[in-house]
A and B are shown apart, each in its own frame.
Chain A
Amino acid sequence: MIVIYVVRLFTLREIFGMITLSKLQVYYSKIVCCIVNVSDKIIMRKKHPRYPLFLKRHIKKLNRNNKARKRMVKGVHDKAQIPAKSFDGSPNKDHYPAVLPTVFSIKDNPNETINFFNKTRRTIMRGTDCDLMMFDFSNVECMTIDALMYLIAMIMNIRISICTVKRFGGNKPKNAEVLKLYDRSGFEKIVTDRQSFIKNDDARCIMFSDKGRPEKTREICEYIIDNSTFVRTDLLFLGEMLGELEGNVIDHAYSDKTNSRLHRRWFVYIDDSKPGKFSFTFLDNGLGIWATMQKNFSEHVKKFGGNSADAIIDALSGGFRTRTKKTYRGRGLPSIRKHAQEKKIQNLTIVTSKAYCYITEDNVDKIDSMRIDKSLKGTLYYWEIIDPNYGKDVV
């Protein structure tokens, strides 16, 4: 009994010793003077003597934040003078204007074009009040399909994101050649279709899917066979190559958790505007090869000179770079390079992250590379297939 009483006394003493009267006074004053808001911000009570000063400062802060938000919404595109009209014709007062670079091409003008994509994406994801996004194509004087495909991929991802922009519009290009490519690509059809992006079966338009589509590969091969002197056995490598690229996109390109909301889509376009030449553009806007490949220690640490271009050259040359760490994986990129070395494909170009790698016709054994300033989210492949017998009489 005595022992219990001593322990109890000690505990009570200790408690009272910790919380002194002066401390209790401080706590009380804090509790009385402040109330905690829902958003965990401490707001002063109206009766507090410092309340007027607090209110003045608080309003100043709110105004400052609003101004910053408005500046952010306008972004770098505040020079745009686009009439408010969406692709489907509905009038809109509130829109987000985006002016495209004059040379709109990842392949030919990577820095400016990638910068445009990154800034647009960043601005939208930070939040705007606009529900319509306008793309001003009117000043574009040179355009390649890769940039247009990337724009479509970005639009698709914006739609499934939580941001307010859900509709898209803009001006058509003024330049005749750019307009021709713009119309042929099916850009408007894809962008205005609110229901589904999956269906696009025209072999001459931009094709896309979120699964491997071997039957599309057959359609592409048959289309080339119909418009060239190639026979089926000449194009077996193309089936292999497209299959590998599709597999890479589905397996690796979007495998990070942060990208789990995005559709694992790949896009392909065949340009046959020049006779006897078929130009292929294949891209995804996932994480990119650099982000998904297995890296060594120095590559993990940028200060040690980790270079995405060198790593991609290594992967193309057959280095063990597969993240799966299985010896029977990671054969896709070396096989693509092999096709270039065997001259089945020409002018192979790969752009991903800050790497721009290409193989020229002059020296097919060498992979040239350059480092670009802006990082491309995703991977772009470009190659050409040239029909050597085009225009000749083949028996």
Chain B
Amino acid sequence: MFFSIAQEFTTTPGLRYRHQSEYSGEEFREDYLRKMYSDAVSKGEILTIDLDGTFGYPDSFISEAFGGLAREQTNTPRKDIIARFQFISKDQSGLIEKIHNMMLNEDER
């Protein structure tokens, strides 16, 4: 499965929550990512996310979208969730590592 954020969602990712801005991390997670992830799990496929072509990702967007998905999946180990994803980022080095960190380490206090 393949999904390009710039082509299929937006070139200008917004803030954390829906009430804060358009194209928020919450919107991306709830309307796109959650469904794609569950499809990928049920079909046993890898979900490829293309991160290129945007004007930058605020940390709050990444945290809510990808970190939020990892926080939701309480029954699946974080490493298994990360293994389900493949990220493409030629524009910004370090972005994939940042997403992995957020998916791996974010916890509700």
Chain A interface residues toward B at CB < 8 A: 211-215, 217-218, 221, 232-233, 235-240, 243-244, 246-247, 250-251, 325-329, 331-332, 335
Cβ–Cβ contact B21 & A331, under 8 A? no
A233–B109 alpha-carbon span in the complex (Å): 35
Distance from B7 Cβ to chain A, minimum over Cβ atoms (Å): 15
Other A-B contacts than A235-B55, A247-B20, A329-B63, 9 sampled, CB-CB below 8 A, are A217-B55, A238-B56, A243-B15, A243-B56, A326-B109, A328-B67, A328-B102, A332-B59, A335-B59
Contact A332 B60, CB 8 Å, known A214-B14, A233-B92, A251-B20: yes
B10 contacts the other chain (Cβ, under 8 Å)? yes
Number of A-B residue pairs, CB cutoff 8 Å, is 99
Cβ–Cβ contact A243 & B13, under 8 A? yes
Contact A244 B59, CB 8 Å, known A212-B21, A328-B67: yes
Please name all residues of chain A whose beta carbon is closer than 8 Å to the beta carbon of B63 when the two chains form the complex. 328-329, 331
A51–B21 alpha-carbon span in the complex (Å): 65
Please name all residues of chain B whose beta carbon is closer than 8 Å to the beta carbon of A250 when the two chains form the complex. 15, 20-21
Cβ–Cβ contact A240 & B91, under 8 A? no
Please name all residues of chain B whose beta carbon is closer than 8 Å to the beta carbon of A213 when the two chains form the complex. 21
For B56, give its contact among A212, A236, A326, A331 (CB under 8 Å).
A236
Distance from B56 Cβ to chain A, minimum over Cβ atoms (Å): 3
What would 5 A/B residue contacts be, using CB atoms closer than 8 Å?
A218-B12, A235-B55, A240-B57, A243-B56, A328-B107
Cβ–Cβ contact B21 & A211, under 8 A? yes
A251–B59 alpha-carbon span in the complex (Å): 14
Residue in B closest to A232 when the chains form the complex, CB atoms:
B55
Cβ–Cβ contact A239 & B12, under 8 A? yes
Chain B interface residues toward A at CB < 8 A: 10-16, 20-24, 54-61, 63, 67, 71, 91-92, 102, 105-109
Cβ–Cβ contact B67 & A217, under 8 A? no
Please name all residues of chain B whose beta carbon is closer than 8 Å to the beta carbon of A214 when the two chains form the complex. 10, 12-15, 21-23, 55
Contact A243 B60, CB 8 Å, known A235-B55, A251-B20: yes
Which 9 residue pairs spanning A and B have beta carbons closest together? Answer: A239-B56, A212-B21, A243-B58, A214-B12, A236-B56, A328-B106, A212-B15, A239-B55, A247-B15
Please name all residues of chain A whose beta carbon is closer than 8 Å to the beta carbon of B60 when the two chains form the complex. 243-244, 247, 331-332
Please name all residues of chain B whose beta carbon is closer than 8 Å to the beta carbon of A238 when the two chains form the complex. 55-56
Please name all residues of chain B whose beta carbon is closer than 8 Å to the beta carbon of A235 when the two chains form the complex. 55-56
The CB with the most chain A CB atoms within 10 A, among B15, B56, B106, is that of B56
Contact A236 B92, CB 8 Å, known A243-B61, A328-B107, A332-B60: yes
Distance from A228 Cβ to chain B, minimum over Cβ atoms (Å): 15
Distance from B3 Cβ to chain A, minimum over Cβ atoms (Å): 19
